[in-house]
Amino acid sequence: MSTTAARRERQRAQLIDAAERAIAEKGLAGLKARELAQEVGCALGAIYNLVQDMDELILRVGSRTLARLDAALSAAAPQAPSTPDQATDVLVAVALGYCAFARDNLQLWRVLFEHRMAEGATVPEWAVTEQMTMFRHILQPLGVLMPDPDEPERILMSRTLFSAVHGVVAIGLEEKLIAVPRRELDHQVEKLVRLVCRGLSKTVAA
């Protein structure tokens, strides 16, 4: 790599570092281009030599968040299940891992859902792939509980189960009046996943 290219790469990493710290502290509202430029030590306009626009910068931070979430979920359920009971335990572990990650990375995790691309812009292919890859943590155990080879049905169920767990976690961590109280959150997330799995295995048995 030429010195210029190496310097650019280093600055780019510093910019993403600075954006990550700003979001972790104050969420998307904490992300100010002027402050980032100051922290990286470049002119305001020079930021756009490092990333295309603020959307890309936010997606690059999101990419790091997803990579850490991915590692956390892999650690939560290191063994591939082979029986329905094991699959249920894996899905519970993944859901609890998700809940713990969200709690420990509240602002960075929120941004994964709050961020909307600028009008007319679409999410770039690399970011789509990263998001979709995460579903393997659900799809693999779900395959044991839904051995029927209907792949589209299993994909739909993985999204439904994810959205359901996400709903309980998101409303719970907001501590809304109508939320599951925070001290009960893990227990209720586990209960929800066990009930759905029990429902699924009952369908298989019937």
Q: Give contact residues for its own copies (rule: CB under 8 A).
A: 113, 123, 128, 131-132, 134-135, 156-157, 159-168, 170-172, 176-180, 184, 188, 191-192, 194-200, 202-203
> What is the C-alpha separation between 114 and 96, in angstroms, rounded?
22
Reduced to 3 states (helix: H, G, I; strand: E, B; else coil), residue 80 is coil
Helices 185-205 and 136-145 cross at an angle (nearest 10°) of 40
Shortest distance in whole angstroms from residue 98 CB to its own copies: 12
E strand or H helix at 107, and its extent?
A: helix 106-114
Q: Give the C-alpha separation, 190 to 41, whole Å.
A: 47
- For its own copies, which is the closer residue by CB, 1 or 177? 177
What is the rounded CA–CA span in Å between residue 186 and residue 69?
17
The residue (of 13 and 128) whose beta carbon lies closer to its own copies is 128
In Å, how far are 22, 68, 70, 134, 147 from 140, measured between CA atoms? Answer: 35, 20, 14, 11, 11
CB of 191 to its own copies, least distance (A): 7
User: Helix, strand or coil for residue 175?
Assistant: coil
Residue 60 C-beta: closest distance to its own copies, Å: 17
Query: In the bound complex, what is the minimum distance in angstroms from residue 52's beta carbon to its own copies?
Result: 19
Nearer Cβ to its own copies, position 147 or 199?
199
As given in the structure block, the two tokens for residue 181 are: 């109280």
Tell the smallest beta-carbon distance from residue 192 to its own copies (Å): 5
Shorter beta-carbon distance to its own copies: residue 38 or 203: 203
Please, which residue, 32 or 116, has the CB nearer to its own copies?
Answer: 116
Residue given tokens 């020079």 in the structure block: 46
Nearest residue (CB) to its own copies, 8 versus 194: 194
With CA atoms as reference, report the closest residue to 135 among 83, 58, 66.
Answer: 66
Least distance to its own copies from the beta carbon of 180, Å?
5
Which residues lie closer than 8 Å to 136 by C-beta, 6 or more apart?
none
